[in-house]
Amino acid sequence: MNRVVITGIGVVSPVGCGLNEFWSALVDGRSGIRAIENIPTERLSTRIAAQVLDFDPNTHFEPRRVSQFDRFSQFAVVAARAAVRDAGLEIDEELALEIATIIGTGAGGHVTIDDSYLKLYGENAAKVHPLTIPRMMVNAAASQVSMDLGLKGPTFTTATACASGTHAIGQAFHMVRLGQAPVAIAGGTEASLTVGTLKAWEALRILSNDTCRPFSKNRSGLVLGEGAAILVLESRERAVARGAPIYAELRGFGMSADAVDLISPDPDGAARAIRSALSDARANPEDVDYVNAHGTGTMLNDRTETKALRSVFGKHADKLAVSSNKGVLAHGLGCAGALEAAATALALHSQIVPPTANYEEKDPECDLDVVPNVARQTPIRSAISNSFAFGGLNAVLVLGRA
């Protein structure tokens, strides 16, 4: 079995599209949550989100091709290009045939769907845009990445709501580990901030109207985000042979289903995914120093995640640094796990734990060391990154120092 390493990272995020901007915002706890722009908000009761604002598709795509892309595919392609560039990966004919491309997304092309329904039902238009279907299909991002970079190997989409990006990276990790692909381009993308989708989230009554405060007693719910993160994974042997930079090693991946409730998370399901990931990595709980939490900032998730971590890590739980990136990035749904895996790799690379931003009040039900507001330089040997999706689908990655 191959050891698998991360050699390239590309992000499109609410706090910037460069890796340095992204990482410095996370370390400084500088939040990308702001008043919603570019979307009519008169009918919304929640008017905050973490949007990707400095993104002009016309600077990334030929103007005559832009109409082929939904926003979620644009994000994925731009992040994938950046990741490949970052890895210094030369893709020749032979390698192109073998690279796996696995891109997670929760929603697919919601901007396209929203636009077409507005025309159809709102404006009584007789027709919608001819590329509505190929733009909105949930695999469009994976297809666009493969076409843009000329990747001809196994290519598909994982769709597990808030765990989509994590499932994609985990699957890609297993393929490279087993030698099914020498290199994988994997991550997640999401761009579902539309009036229709925001109204649907409002109806669930779990959105915050001020900001996202993971693990803080006065947390008031989740805030929606968007973006993409794509990683380049390859065998350690290959990376070392070509002298590639290595951010971190991917060591394990675990999955589980709660099989309990459509929206409420379950501590047992989460704990089973964490245990399975540690076992896949052949790691002991004591080997882990940092947990990049799912930490959505809802009452229930943060309490449930704390319980799950305590049940897996026992006494060692009090030695863990646990932080959520969602105070800064909000909840990017299908891209959240990928942005957070990127953050976890950068934490291992720099040996800095990014803080839980916007933290204000201790909650006895979230009594782990959540690294409130201030980053921490500390030895990190191994870390886990948690994603727990609606529908009770859980995915956890174990990463180690390169």
Partner 1 sequence: MDVLYEVKQIIAKQARVPVDQLTADSRLEALGIESIDVIEIVFAIEEKFGVTLPFNANESAVAEFETIGKVADAVKAVVGEKAAS
The site for partner 1 (CB under 8 A) is made up of 203-206, 208, 219-221, 261-264, 298-300
Catalytic annotation, pick one of 17, 60, 110, 162 = 162
Closer Cβ to partner 1, 188 or 297, answer by number: 297
**Cβ atoms of 188 and 335 closer than 8 Å:** yes
Closer Cβ to partner 1, 264 or 377, answer by number: 264
Closer Cβ to partner 1, 172 or 223, answer by number: 223
Judge whether 294 counts as a catalytic residue: yes
Residue 46 CB, nearest approach to partner 1 (Å) = 10
**Cβ atoms of 233 and 99 closer than 8 Å:** no
User: Looking at the DSSP assignment, which residues form a beta bridge with residue 323?
Assistant: 292
Catalytic annotation, pick one of 60, 174, 331, 349 = 331
Residue 225 CB, nearest approach to partner 1 (Å) = 17
Judge whether 110 counts as a catalytic residue: no
**Residue 339 carries which DSSP code?**
H
Cα distances from 249 to residues 3, 83, 108, 228, in angstroms, run 8, 16, 29, 21
DSSP string covering 267-292: HHHHHHHHHHHHHHTT--GGGEEEEE
Closer Cβ to partner 1, 35 or 262, answer by number: 262
**Cβ atoms of 161 and 106 closer than 8 Å:** yes
Q: Which residues, at least 6 apart from 123, have a Cβ–Cβ distance to it below 8 Å? A: none
| DSSP H/E element including 27 | helix 19-28
Q: Is 133 helix (H, G, I), strand (E, B) or coil?
A: helix
Residue 164 CB, nearest approach to partner 1 (Å) = 22
* Residue 218: burial class (beta carbons within 10 Å; 0-12, 13-18, 19+): exposed
Catalytic annotation, pick one of 110, 167, 174, 294 = 294
Closer Cβ to partner 1, 1 or 203, answer by number: 203
As annotated, the active-site residues are: 162, 294, 331
